[in-house]
């Protein structure tokens, strides 16, 4: 995680570096800092906490300079204090780092034994000292950087300044993304193209192991063996403007309300209005013959994959496995030659998902990704990308990206089913019609917001909350619990409803609300039986169902949320909205920082 940005400029860089950090705050907000070269000397300002604290510091003590680097941190090694904030610097070298240096302890001991004084608890500070040691031995900045890089184990994207070299900025990447931007007499460096969006849209994505010398004249790129190499430049499709909250109190609420529109936009890419069929871009493999589908993702994207497993198996009649990327990447899964591996990610930069993708490529899988950022690392390394068109998602809690992922995966499941002859034309038309109805149905579901807010006021008082669901609603129970935990800090767990009696039912008492996700699908009766087992033991139920379900659910629920009737196939998409709103209002009622909850970052670029 962490975001880095750098400029070799013609005019003052600090305000533009801070603007770049604002665009990168989704990568972490534990601390922020800037370093520039002022008359050849390294000068820096740092602050604990969100960017606004750094702005205050800079207002009190402005920072000149036309070459600089900046950093927003998600702490890995060392507490999120000002002292541990980047840039880390000696008198000779300043460094910003995204990633983890795995051999930092050995390096630290070696450097301390050599007389270097370490001021922080971080894994990153040693990089500045390694560069300094090389400079002390007479190396040029370029040589010092190249030699220091060879000493590092782990993952990094770096920006490095050298005292006395005002017009030079060195960048390097291994395992973490880094983008070079080309300007008019200026050059830029960023963790992603978004960071430098207002400055340049002509960008070059450095390749694994590359390092780059940036001067006002341009970029000289070296590969891992230090040879000068050419890398392609591209036009980035990034807008310069910052995304605004509009009249919404939080980005999360705005993004929840955007769902009818962005689901419609996403569907519009995969649904042909003339033929009334799902149409995918041409695939470099045949869906009819893939022996197995392996879905890998993290967090909310993983739950989208878990829903898709139900769809691929039931509708597509193809075996599908799903795993969290952090487990999958080390599991050495045996995969059949020619299988299809599907990676789901909003950011397209999640380190574990990217590593899992690379493993699957080595195992001869076809690589398909469902991503929201088309220029992301995962998208660029895929054989085929099925983008979601959710638009920028700013709130750390994923909402609209999730429902758009579901829509894309539903289209893929229909296309798979058709290719394999698993559904006839009538069944295909029924499923497709249900999907096309989702934007309008989502608008109807959003009309229940006031009622959800009222219920959330009660739920927010609980210390623990359980979520239950069956079939494709089981992943929604997991997602509901994750949403509540991450933004309201209430402990919550999701369970398959049928699992309750195998242990979790012992938790039931009136202080533990139980959210039961039960649309009137073919498993409704079974879910409702499980609900009554909870009621019989004094549990307080929030039943989230539909008009038909309410008629058959019986009495005893403490709260009911009755949504419009919905087709079973799309129920996971529509039931996502109340679980999102419930978490949102519970968080607001507890006064937490909804868009930037504690300890989290939007994009998880370290493993």
Residues that bind ligand M6R (CB under 6 A): 298-301, 345-347, 350, 353, 396-398, 482, 486, 603-604
Token pair for 150: 């060879």
Which of residues 73 and 88 has its CB atom nearest to ligand M6R in the complex?
73
> Is 14:62 a contact under the CB 8 Å cutoff?
yes
d(CA 216, CA 329): 41
Q: Shortest Cβ distance from residue 473 to ligand M6R (Å)?
A: 18
DSSP label of 175: B
Q: Shortest Cβ distance from residue 397 to ligand M6R (Å)?
A: 4
Active-site hit among 92, 254, 485, 602: 602
Which of residues 120 and 350 has its CB atom nearest to ligand M6R in the complex?
350
> Is 334:368 a contact under the CB 8 Å cutoff?
no
Which of residues 377 and 432 has its CB atom nearest to ligand M6R in the complex?
377
Longest dimension (CA), the chain: 82
Which of residues 134 and 486 has its CB atom nearest to ligand M6R in the complex?
486
Report the residue closest to ligand M6R, judged by CB.
299
Which of residues 213 and 486 has its CB atom nearest to ligand M6R in the complex?
486
Q: Shortest Cβ distance from residue 577 to ligand M6R (Å)?
A: 14
Which of residues 124 and 398 has its CB atom nearest to ligand M6R in the complex?
398
* Residue 359: Cβ within 10 Å count: 20
Is 602 a residue of the active site? Answer: yes
* C-alpha distance from residue 528 to each of 351, 505, 508, 517 (Å): 40, 15, 16, 10
Active-site hit among 2, 298, 360, 404: 2
Q: Shortest Cβ distance from residue 302 to ligand M6R (Å)?
A: 7
Beta bridge partners of 72: 3, 32
H or E stretch covering 427: helix 425-436
Closest CA to 587 of 409, 389, 452: 452
Q: Shortest Cβ distance from residue 467 to ligand M6R (Å)?
A: 15
The string of DSSP letters for 51-95 reads: HHHHHHHHHHS----SEEEEEEE--SSS-SSSTTPSPEE-SSEEE
> Is 493:506 a contact under the CB 8 Å cutoff?
no
Q: Shortest Cβ distance from residue 24 to ligand M6R (Å)?
A: 14
Which of residues 161 and 397 has its CB atom nearest to ligand M6R in the complex?
397
Helix/strand number for the chain, H first, E second:
19, 27
Q: Shortest Cβ distance from residue 392 to ligand M6R (Å)?
A: 12
3-state SS record for 217-269: CEEEEECCCCCEECCCCEECCCCCCCCCCCCCCCHHHHHHHCHHHHHHHHHHH
The string of DSSP letters for 289-345 reads: T-S-EEEEE-HHHHHHHHHHHHHHHHTT---EEEEEHHHHHHHT----TT-EEEEEE
Q: Shortest Cβ distance from residue 186 to ligand M6R (Å)?
A: 30
Which of residues 287 and 478 has its CB atom nearest to ligand M6R in the complex?
478
Which of residues 107 and 482 has its CB atom nearest to ligand M6R in the complex?
482
Is 2 a residue of the active site? Answer: yes
Residues contacting residue 142 through CB under 8 Å, at least 6 positions apart: 170, 213
> Is 390:266 a contact under the CB 8 Å cutoff?
yes
> Is 12:68 a contact under the CB 8 Å cutoff?
no
Phi, psi of 213 (to 5 degrees): -100, 120
| Range 281-288, long-range pairs (CB < 8 A, 24+ positions) | 281/384, 281/386, 283/368, 283/384, 284/366, 284/383, 284/384, 285/338, 285/340, 285/366, 285/383, 286/419, 287/340, 287/415, 287/416, 287/419, 287/420, 288/419, 288/420, 288/421
* Residue 559: Cβ within 10 Å count: 18
Q: Shortest Cβ distance from residue 351 to ligand M6R (Å)?
A: 9
Which of residues 299 and 387 has its CB atom nearest to ligand M6R in the complex?
299
Q: Are strands 340-345 and 293-297 parallel, antiparallel or unpaired?
A: parallel
C-alpha neighbours within 13 Å on the C-beta side of residue 297: 29
Token pair for 448: 């229940």
The residues annotated as belonging to the active site are 2, 602
């Amino acid at each position: 995680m962490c975001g880095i940005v750098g400029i070799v400029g013609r005019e003052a860089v600090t305000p533009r570096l801070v603007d770049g950090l604002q665009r990168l705050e989704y990568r972490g907000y534990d601390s922020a800092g800037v370093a520039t070269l002022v008359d050849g000397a390294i000068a820096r300002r740092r602050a604990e906490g969100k960017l606004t604290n750094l702005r205050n510091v800079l207002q009190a003590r402005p920072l000149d300079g036309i070459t600089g680097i900046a950093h927003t941190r998600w702490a890995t090694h060392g507490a999120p204090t000002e002292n541990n904030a980047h840039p880390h610097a000696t008198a000779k070298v300043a460094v910003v780092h995204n990633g983890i240096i795995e051999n930092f302890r050995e390096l630290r001991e070696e450097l301390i034994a050599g007389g270097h004084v370490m001021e922080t608890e971080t894994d990153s500070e040693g990089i500045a000292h390694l560069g300094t040691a090389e400079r002390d031995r007479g190396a040029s900045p370029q040589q010092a950087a190249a030699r220091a890089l060879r000493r590092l184990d782990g993952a990094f994207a770096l920006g490095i300044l050298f005292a006395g070299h005002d017009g030079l900025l060195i960048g390097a990447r291994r395992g973490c993304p880094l983008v070079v931007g080309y300007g008019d007499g200026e050059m830029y460096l960023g963790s992603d193209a978004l960071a430098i969006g207002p400055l340049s849209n002509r960008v070059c994505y450095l390749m694994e192991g590359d390092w780059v010398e940036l001067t006002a004249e341009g970029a000289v790129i070296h590969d891992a063996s230090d040879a000068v190499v050419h890398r392609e430049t591209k036009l980035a499709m990034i807008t310069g403007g910052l995304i605004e909250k509009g009249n919404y109190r939080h980005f999360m609420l705005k993004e929840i309300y955007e769902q009818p529109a962005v689901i419609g936009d996403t569907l519009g890419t995969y649904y042909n209005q003339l033929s009334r069929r799902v149409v995918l871009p041409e695939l470099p493999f045949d869906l009819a013959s893939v022996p197995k589908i392996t879905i890998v993702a993290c967090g909310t994207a993983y739950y989208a994959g878990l829903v898709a497993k139900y769809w691929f198996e039931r509708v597509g009649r193809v075996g599908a496995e799903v795993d969290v990327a952090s487990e999958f990447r080390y599991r050495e899964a045996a995969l059949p030659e020619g299988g299809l591996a599907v990676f789901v990610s909003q950011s397209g930069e999640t380190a574990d998902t990217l590593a899992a993708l690379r493993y699957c490529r080595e195992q001869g899988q076809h690589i398909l990704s469902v991503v929201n950022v088309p220029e992301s690392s995962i998208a660029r390394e895929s054989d085929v990308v099925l983008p979601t068109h959710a638009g920028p998602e700013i709130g750390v809690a994923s909402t609209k990206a999730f429902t758009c992922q579901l829509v894309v995966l539903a289209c893929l499941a229909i296309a798979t089913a058709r290719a394999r002859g698993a559904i006839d034309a009538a069944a295909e038309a029924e499923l497709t019609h249900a999907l096309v109805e989702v934007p309008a149905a989502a608008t109807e579901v959003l009309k229940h917001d006031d009622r959800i807010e009222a219920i959330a006021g009660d739920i927010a008082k609980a210390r623990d909350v359980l979520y239950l669901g069956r079939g494709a609603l089981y992943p929604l129970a997991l997602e509901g619990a994750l949403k509540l935990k991450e933004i309201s800090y209430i402990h919550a767990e999701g369970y398959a409803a049928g699992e309750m009696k195998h242990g979790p039912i012992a938790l039931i008492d009136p202080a533990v609300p139980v959210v039961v996700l039960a649309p009137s699908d073919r498993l409704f009766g079974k879910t409702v039986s499980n609900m009554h087992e909870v009621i019989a033991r004094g549990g307080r139920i929030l039943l989230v169902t539909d008009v038909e379900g309410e008629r058959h659910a019986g009495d005893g629920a403490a709260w009911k949320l009755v949504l419009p009737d919905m087709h079973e196939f799309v129920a996971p998409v529509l039931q996502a909205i109340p679980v999102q709103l419930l978490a949102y209002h519970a968080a607001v009622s507890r006064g937490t920082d909804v868009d930037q909850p504690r300890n989290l970052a939007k994009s998880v670029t370290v493993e």
